[in-house]
Amino acid sequence: QQQVKQSPQSLIVQKGGISIINCAYENTAFDYFPWYQQFPGKGPALLIAIRPDVSEKKEGRFTISFNKSAKQFSLHIMDSQPGDSATYFCAASPRANRDDKIIFGKGTRLHILP
Amino acid sequence: NAGVTQTPKFRVLKTGQSMTLLCAQDMNHEYMYWYRQDPGMGLRLIHYSVGEGTTAKGEVPDGYNVSRLKKQNFLLGLESAAPSQTSVYFCASSYPPPRDRSYGYTFGSGTRLTVV
């Protein structure tokens, strides 16, 4: 299955809270898992990415947690700010060869209440 | 600024009309992609190109054609627009794998197309 399932579809979090977005996959050939952030009226932009040989990657307030056995990964936004309000896409890439492209989840619209 | 430029930004078409969306990148990326974004559907790949003169079908290619005559440009054509093609279209570019993993995809700001 070349699918990446993302939840929730939308999320509302209070300022200062933790935002959590979850993704699941089935294809064990996936070996690269990026997250993209999209602001209204803009294209998506790479936020953070992880490979399955590590269980966690942190960049500032953004952390990816990866559970290889469960085939799940999640994005945690600590101390969420109104400026984090955006649509977030998880994604997966099968392998690094010429014909394999990133497969995106359906997105989560995050709104941080001021 | 370096990046991906899409033109036009907005367009309204009547059913049956044709149009071409232009994507230009100045990062010397080999790979280019066209996606459409619809509410609840995420990003769906229409067509892509792994180099000048090459194109390939993505997940939802029907009703669209593409051309990549120059490395920096990737054109998306709608020969006979239908209301189902109302969407936001994004162009993206990248280095080939595995280098694309270090830099990700660079997306344009999108073209909002309405077919009435």
Distance CA B9, CA B108 (A): 10
Task: Decide if B105 touches A, using CB distance below 8 A.
Answer: yes
* Cα–Cα distance list, B64 to A101, B35, B107, B109, B116 (Å): 19, 11, 19, 20, 17
Give the rounded percent of residues in chain B with a pLDDT score beyond 70: 99
Residue predicted with more confidence, A93 or B82? B82
pLDDT band at B86 (very low <50, low <70, confident <90, very high): very high
Name the phi and psi angles at B17, rounded to 5. Answer: -75, 160
Distance CA B112, CA B116 (A): 13
Distance CA B46, CA B65 (A): 9
pLDDT of residue A2: 62
Distance CA A26, CA B98 (A): 22
- Residue numbers of A between 24 and 43 with CB closer than 8 Å to B: 32, 34, 36, 41-43
Give tens-digit pLDDT for B5-44: 999 999 999 999 999 999 999 999 999 999 999 988 899 9
CB contact under 8 A, B48 and A101: yes
Task: Decide if A97 touches B, using CB distance below 8 A.
Answer: yes
pLDDT of residue B2: 72
* Cα–Cα distance list, A68 to A29, A92, A108, B4 (Å): 11, 13, 22, 34
pLDDT of residue A60: 97
- Candidate from A44, A49, A98 with C-beta closest to B97: A98
CB contact under 8 A, B101 and A41: no
pLDDT of B103 > 90? The answer is: no
Tell me the pLDDT of chain A (114 aa) as tens digits: 568 999 999 999 999 999 999 999 998 888 899 999 999 999 999 999 998 889 999 999 999 999 999 999 999 999 999 999 999 999 998 775 556 678 999 999 999 999
CB contact under 8 A, B43 and A41: no
pLDDT of residue A62: 98
Q: How many pairs of residues across A and B have Cβ atoms under 8 Å apart? A: 58
CB contact under 8 A, A46 and B42: no
pLDDT of residue B100: 80
